[in-house]
Amino acid sequence: MLLEVGVVAVHSPTPLPRASLPRRTNALPTPNWRSNSSPSVHCSSIHQTRGGQVLTNKDRVFFLDVNPLCYIGSTRSLHSFAHWISLFFSQVSLRSPVIAVLDGEGGNDYRRELLPSYKAHRKKFSGQLSTSSTYSGAGGGNFHLVIADILQKCNVPVLKIKGYEADDVVATLVEQALQRGFRVVIGSPDKDFKQLISEDVQIVIPMPEFGRWSFYTIKHYIAQYNCNPCSDLSLRCILGDEVDGVPGIQHVAPGFGRKTALKLLKKHGLLENLLKAAAVRTVGKPYVQDALTKHADYLRKNYEVLSLRRDVPVCLKEEWLSERNNCNDSIALSNFTNMLGEAKKIDAQSFILSSRT
């Protein structure tokens, strides 16, 4: 059972009968964890996995941001989740430990108190399945329970902490994992995680247009933005995030764009360093200077809103870091996919019958 605060209990069930799932074999090699050489790839050249293997001298732990995997566009879909999770287990994580994280109820409240426009346009994730996503095996039809059920069968602990977004839970646990000497891979399409990228932290991104997961590393970040990932949060604070409802400085200083922001951050590193410098001396053209001095509090609020928290009340448990028993993956995911197919047929038949009445 999935708890509102805490984790799903993870058991080691008796191995189920084996079933085969389709596996892609045309994968490209992943980049090395090491990034001491200058980047040689364009931002669009994101390397794919070869059986999920990344060259590393340390053990890896994977954190899976579940909610984005449950959508096709703006529509919730368990079929999407089944597709991405099967590829993730078979091509990316293999037997490495995986910790899955869901958004907790009220997770956006903290940031909305700071900035009411934060994700204000997004529909609330109610956790309830639509008729077209019926799944007979999920008690009460709760979306999160369905997801937790299949992940639990694949021996993956699932966290859902009330009052916290999944991003903050992941960021908190990533810091703890690094302190224990692990290298970290975050499975998510969420750009917020780019602020965590380092030589020891990679992101693996679902790529719908290619039907695969692709690694995104510090090399890719530098090639794409021509700056260090430690400046990512500062850059987003200046430019804003329209998707999340966070306005950028260009709303009050129209000429203050990406090129200007990157130039300033390459020199000053972090937003706070830039604001302190602008308070005592000229750091740019008059409109830049004026924007930084008049709207410093505005930018600092953006920083507080967009910064991932590391203070979530959760501790990384030793049992979560053990090699994952993947003997049930194939049959559990195959059964799940088959049940979704049957549910879709039932929904189609119900639609036909209702249209005739």
**DSSP summary character for residue 132:** G
pLDDT of residue 354: 53
Q: What is the C-alpha separation between 187 and 183, in angstroms, rounded?
A: 13
pLDDT at 132 over 80: no
248 and 171 in a single domain? The answer is: no
Quick one: which of 41, 62, 142, 115 has its CA closest to 321?
A: 62
202 and 113 in a single domain? The answer is: yes
pLDDT digits (tens, 9 = 90+) for 199-222: 999 999 999 999 999 999 999 999
Quick check: is 152 in a domain?
Answer: yes
208 and 65 in a single domain? The answer is: yes
Q: What is the C-alpha separation between 321 and 323, in angstroms, rounded?
A: 7
Quick check: is 277 in a domain?
Answer: yes
Place of tokens 């709760």: 142
Give the CATH number, domain containing residue 248. Answer: 1.10.150.20
pLDDT of residue 142: 78
Average pLDDT of the chain?
Answer: 81
Residue 185's domain comprises 60-226+342-356
Quick check: is 117 in a domain?
Answer: yes
Quick check: is 43 in a domain?
Answer: no
291 and 197 in a single domain? The answer is: no
- Counted domains in the chain: 2
Quick one: which of 198, 52, 181, 174 has its CA closest to 101?
A: 174
245 and 203 in a single domain? The answer is: no
Q: Which residues is 207 bridged to in the sheet?
A: 212
195 and 302 in a single domain? The answer is: no
Quick check: is 317 in a domain?
Answer: no
Quick check: is 207 in a domain?
Answer: yes
Backbone angles phi, psi at 71, to 5 degrees: -130, 145
Quick check: is 30 in a domain?
Answer: no
pLDDT digits (tens, 9 = 90+) for 225-282: 888 899 999 999 999 998 899 999 988 888 899 999 999 999 999 999 999 999 999 9
pLDDT of residue 240: 93
pLDDT digits (tens, 9 = 90+) for 157-215: 999 999 999 999 999 999 999 999 999 999 999 999 999 999 999 999 999 999 999 99
Higher local confidence (pLDDT), 260 or 57: 260
This prediction's pTM = 0.78
Give the CATH number, domain containing residue 113. Answer: 3.40.50.1010
74 and 200 in a single domain? The answer is: yes
